[in-house]
Amino acid sequence: MNHTVYLYVFDTMADWEIGYLTAELNSGRYYKKGLSPSKIVTVGNEKTPVTTMGGLKILPDIKLDECSIEGTDILILPGGETWTEAIHEPILDIAKKCLLGDILVAAICGATMGLAQAGLLNSRGHTSNDLDFLKMICPTYTGEENYQMESAVTDGNLITASGTAPLEFSVHVLKALDVFSSKTLAAWYSLNKTHEAKYFYELMESLIE
């Protein structure tokens, strides 16, 4: 199934939190046979360079008002230190439309606070960096009963993750997109999590089965 990955980019974004994921989506090196790599489109508030927390400069491919997300696409929201600021309200409006339209939205770390502040986590299973911190930063948040003490959570078309879990975040997104076989995904995760060589061989074997 063809899909486009829309990656929101902004100053101070936590570039390492989406590193595992974007590398696999863009390369497609472990995708199921017959599937082409995903198309990643970077989206910014303006089409001017942004500087990530790691000092990398990214020129967005398109502006928010050029963003046309369809049913098989996905919106990825990286973490960062500015998610409670008004500058992110436009992308949060788009995220709301995506969630209502059954389009996949994946948010990690600070982005979960943006979703919480926008009221988008109140009725969905989710996680974040810490429940008490989330409540403190977002006083209008009322989704405590739906908070799960997990590194990453998928609830329908919403994926959320702690900033300490970029690997688990990647697994949830790759599973939702159904681009890896189950054996490939399990081996890929185990290899990156444990660093044990045996999982590399399992990963390679899964690609020829």
User: If 0-12 CB within 10 Å is exposed, 13-18 middle and 19+ buried, where does residue 23 land?
Assistant: exposed
First to last CA, the chain: 21
Spatial separation of the C-alpha atoms in residues 51 and 31, rounded to whole Å: 30
CA distance 72 to 5: 9
Whether 109 is catalytic is yes
Q: How far is CA 107 from the centre of its chain?
A: 5
Q: Which residues pair with 154 in a beta bridge?
A: 159
Q: Which of 67, 98, 109, 138 is catalytic?
A: 109
Backbone angles phi, psi at 197, to 5 degrees: -60, -30
As annotated, the active-site residues are: 109
